Chain A
């Protein structure tokens, strides 16, 4: 589901500045559907792994408190232009979201 994810990685000195945007409702399970008055079940991305050239640099666990269409920014020291940065995410229903970007 690469279309659900946008990524950008640019060099900032010797550090790669990575920005990731994933389309996801991030439903908390606490909100009611206004039409049916029923609770919308929790539906959220709960694990995200970032890799640099296949090597894990960041492992994240998320709760329902991450905002809708999650944004994640991080900085990798020692990355070079041409390096590949990958993102693997999964939500609480097991749907996977993958993305890859080359450092510019």
Chain B
């Protein structure tokens, strides 16, 4: 009797703590998204604030970051951009559009043999520098390229 009660209490405790862990967001069912979304960096309105909050402040200019983008984008709503870092030990990459209402576009963290190379399509409100920054070996590097926009794509 006593033993049964003890087992029951033990089980109840275990189930309870799992439920609490899920509720607290510690154990997410399905996919695990490790880092929380960096709202501070993504809502920043100035490039310097966005870069600093995303962890890419004080970056050194480097031509080892290659940015592919059109010189002139007719439609700012869809601008193809791809970036490659040739800096050894690149662990992450961020894409910024200096003159967008929210300059930080995306952050990518690399692991387990993926190449530091990303292609995507971004929105541009107007003609601006597209800036790609990377973290490598504890240091930040950055490069930029101007894209002229004839029709803006950010509701502006």
Residues of A in contact with B (beta carbons under 8 Å apart): 15, 19, 26, 28, 30-32, 46-47, 49-50, 52, 55-68, 70-79, 88, 90, 92, 96, 98
Residues of B in contact with A (beta carbons under 8 Å apart): 30-35, 37-38, 42, 77-80, 82, 97, 100-115, 117-123, 153-156
A67-B121, A72-B119 given as contacts; is B31 within 8 A of A58 (CB)? no
Contacts of A64 in B (CB 8 A): 42, 102, 123
Contacts of B113 in A (CB 8 A): 52, 57, 76-79
Docked-complex contact A70 and B112, CB < 8 angstroms: no
Docked-complex contact A30 and B118, CB < 8 angstroms: no
Instruction: List 8 tightest A-B contacts by C-beta distance, closest first.
Output: A73-B119, A88-B31, A31-B155, A65-B105, A67-B121, A63-B42, A57-B114, A30-B155
Contacts of A60 in B (CB 8 A): 106-109
Task: Give 28 pairs: A residue, B residue, CB < 8 Å, sorted on A.
Answer: A15-B115, A30-B155, A31-B155, A46-B37, A49-B32, A52-B112, A56-B111, A59-B35, A59-B108, A59-B111, A60-B109, A61-B35, A61-B37, A63-B42, A63-B102, A63-B105, A64-B123, A65-B97, A65-B105, A66-B123, A67-B123, A68-B77, A70-B120, A72-B119, A73-B119, A75-B115, A78-B113, A96-B31
- B34, B77, B78, B115 interface centre (most CB from chain A within 10 Å): B115
For the complex, what is the distance from the CA of A65 to the CA of B109, rounded to whole Å?
A: 18
Chain B's closest residue to A26 (CB) is B123
For the complex, what is the distance from the CA of A5 to the CA of B77, rounded to whole Å?
A: 20
The contact of A28 among B33, B104, B107, B154, by CB within 8 Å, is B154
A30-B154, A88-B30 given as contacts; is B79 within 8 A of A67 (CB)? yes
